[in-house]
């Protein structure tokens, strides 16, 4: 069944895909007329026919394992192994199956995430599978806030995540994590342990030196400090390390994009013309160093009036969407200008931590899935859509 979908892969890659196995439990009587095997068939067909931005060829085609347990009356438990975090989206499929079959369907996603790019870092850098740069051409568009919320959203979707603050001159990650006074320790006197905040592993120059000390550093010193942070941190096993890039597209940004084995980049912008011009420069910078851009996040896209629900496009409308089209990249999502996002950021909180199923959390979680889904679809050699890619280092 995989033949037609994997026809752009080598035989070796094809054979590394495990054929899904459907393990059936005892068939029990349940409160519908369907037999257990008919229910399993409905589940299988739904997983095959479901399509979305991240599952353009269905869920079934990218599963490496499926196990269905029908032993319990009134509940079917399904376990899937998928190549990118997507529990939130799969929960929606489970809800629609629950309605259709008239009994509870739970689907648990196990992750088998690949590194899309091979690289070697010092220390425990090799524990990191994929490094994703979160960048913006212009400062103040909400890049750091978005990066932190996406990191928490990825954790809510089931991934192991770290964040590295590359803004040596103006580190904001310690504030956004509510850990301004935290200081990293070391077990071996060589590598620093990252600071952990609600399951997120973080490192920032802000944990090590006073802000006023770092602001006087010159370019090479700043990029040297960044390399040290990346290489001399005892990173635990991470599926994704997000790098909060410094704003702009100057020499420092270019050096970072070149020096760090970044798998891909994401551009954060507001819909305002001035931010979009700089976002285009950001895309051009990553093109120059052959780092694929997965897409654009439009932050502060609109404001919803709390009283009447009117949507106003304070910074202009659909600029990010048009830019994504003109640059032939994806619009990964749109986020509102929302007082809760600002307040949470100021207090080291996140809408995703407060309530992982709130409207705001769902927006961040959808963007997180889109980022990692696109990373898989565009760059993972086991994906049915990825052409063979080569990095020229």
Ligand X SMILES: Nc1ncnc2c1ncn2[C@@H]1O[C@H](COP(=O)(O)OP(=O)(O)OP(=O)(O)O)[C@@H](O)[C@H]1O
Residue in 202, 266, 337, 353 binding ligand X, rule: CB under 6 A: 337
Residue 316 counted as an annotated binding residue: no
Residue 141 counted as an annotated binding residue: yes
Q: Which is nearer to ligand X, 194 or 333 (CB)?
A: 333
Per CB under 6 A, the segment of 79-87, 165-173, 250-258, 379-387 that binds ligand X is 165-173
Residue 137 counted as an annotated binding residue: yes
Tokens of 221: 């010193």
Q: Which is nearer to ligand X, 158 or 282 (CB)?
A: 282
Residue 309 counted as an annotated binding residue: no
Compute the distance between CA of residue 193 and CA of residue 207 in angstroms, rounded to an integer: 11
Q: How far is CA 95 from CA 43, 77, 89, 354, in A?
A: 12, 12, 10, 23
* 225 Cβ contact partners less than 8 Å away, ≥ 6 residues apart: 168, 205, 214, 217
Q: Where are the beta strands (DSSP E) in the chain?
A: 65-69, 75-82, 104-111, 128-135, 161-165, 195-197, 200-203, 238-244, 264-269, 293-298, 303-304, 311-312, 330-334
Should residue 348 be labelled a site residue for ligand X when binding is judged by CB under 6 A? no
Binding mask 242-281 for ligand X (x = CB under 6 A): -----x----------------------------------
Q: How far is CA 157 from CA 30, 84, 113, 115, 153, in A?
A: 31, 9, 13, 18, 6
Residue in 20, 142, 184, 319 binding ligand X, rule: CB under 6 A: 142
- Least distance in Å: CB of 374 to ligand X? 21
Should residue 236 be labelled a site residue for ligand X when binding is judged by CB under 6 A? no
* 202 Cβ contact partners less than 8 Å away, ≥ 6 residues apart: 162, 163, 164, 165, 173, 174, 177, 179, 194, 195, 196
Compute the distance between CA of residue 360 and CA of residue 352 in angstroms, rounded to an integer: 7
Q: Which is nearer to ligand X, 247 or 295 (CB)?
A: 247
Residue 143 counted as an annotated binding residue: yes
- Residue 135 phi, psi (nearest 5): -130, 165
- Least distance in Å: CB of 204 to ligand X? 12
Residue in 131, 300, 375, 377 binding ligand X, rule: CB under 6 A: 300
The radius of gyration of the chain's CA atoms, rounded to the nearest angstrom, is 22
Residue in 141, 256, 260, 367 binding ligand X, rule: CB under 6 A: 141
Residue 57 counted as an annotated binding residue: no
Residue 266 counted as an annotated binding residue: no
| Cross-strand bridge partners of residue 76 | 105
Residue in 46, 87, 136, 253 binding ligand X, rule: CB under 6 A: 136
Compute the distance between CA of residue 138 and CA of residue 343 in angstroms, rounded to an integer: 22
Tokens of 333: 């999502």
Should residue 139 be labelled a site residue for ligand X when binding is judged by CB under 6 A? yes
Should residue 54 be labelled a site residue for ligand X when binding is judged by CB under 6 A? no
Should residue 338 be labelled a site residue for ligand X when binding is judged by CB under 6 A? yes
Interacting residues with ligand X between 172 and 211 (CB under 6 A): 172
- Annotated binding residues, as ranges? 137-144
Which spans of this chain sit near ligand X (rule: CB under 6 A)? 136, 139-145, 167, 170, 172, 247, 299-300, 335, 337-338, 341-342, 345
- Annotated binding residues for ATP, as ranges? 137-144
């Amino acid at each position: 069944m995989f033949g037609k979908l994997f026809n752009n892969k080598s035989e070796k890659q094809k054979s590394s895909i495990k054929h899904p196995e459907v393990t059936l439990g005892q068939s029990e009587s349940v409160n519908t007329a369907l037999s257990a095997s008919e229910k399993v068939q409905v589940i299988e067909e739904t997983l095959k026919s479901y399509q979305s931005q991240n599952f353009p060829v269905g869920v079934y085609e990218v599963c490496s394992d499926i196990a269905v347990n029908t032993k319990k009356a009134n509940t079917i438990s399904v376990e899937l192994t998928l190549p990118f975090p997507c529990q939130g989206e799969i929960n929606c499929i489970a809800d629609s199956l629950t309605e259709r079959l008239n009994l509870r369907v739970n689907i648990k996603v196990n992750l088998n995430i690949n590194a899309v790019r091979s690289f070697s870092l010092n220390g425990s850098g090799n524990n990191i599978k994929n490094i994703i740069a979160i960048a913006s051409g212009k400062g103040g568009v909400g890049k750091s806030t978005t990066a932190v919320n996406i990191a928490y959203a990825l954790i809510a979707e089931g991934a192991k995540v770290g964040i590295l603050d590359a803004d040596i001159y103006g580190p904001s990650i310690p504030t956004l994590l509510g850990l301004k006074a935290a200081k990293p320790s070391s077990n071996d006197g060589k590598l620093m342990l990252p600071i952990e905040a609600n399951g997120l592993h973080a490192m920032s120059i802000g944990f090590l030196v006073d802000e006023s000390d770092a602001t006087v550093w010159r370019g090479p010193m700043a990029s040297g400090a960044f390399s040290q942070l990346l290489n001399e941190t005892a990173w635990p096993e991470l599926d994704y390390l997000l790098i909060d890039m410094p704003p702009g597209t100057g020499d420092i940004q270019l050096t970072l994009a070149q020096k760090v084995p970044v798998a891909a980049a994401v551009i954060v912008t507001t819909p305002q013309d001035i931010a979009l011009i700089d976002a285009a420069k950001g895309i051009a910078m990553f093109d120059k160093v052959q780092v694929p851009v997965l897409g654009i996040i439009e932050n502060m896209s609109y404001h919803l009036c709390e009283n009447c629900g009117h949507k106003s496009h304070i910074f202009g409308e659909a600029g990010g969407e048009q830019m994504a089209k003109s640059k032939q990249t994806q619009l990964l999502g749109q986020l509102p200008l929302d007082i809760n996002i600002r307040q949470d950021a100021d207090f080291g909180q996140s809408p995703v931590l407060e309530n992982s199923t709130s409207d705001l959390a769902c927006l961040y979680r959808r963007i997180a899935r889109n980022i990692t889904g696109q990373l898989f679809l565009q760059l993972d050699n086991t994906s049915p859509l990825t052409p063979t890619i080569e990095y020229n280092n």
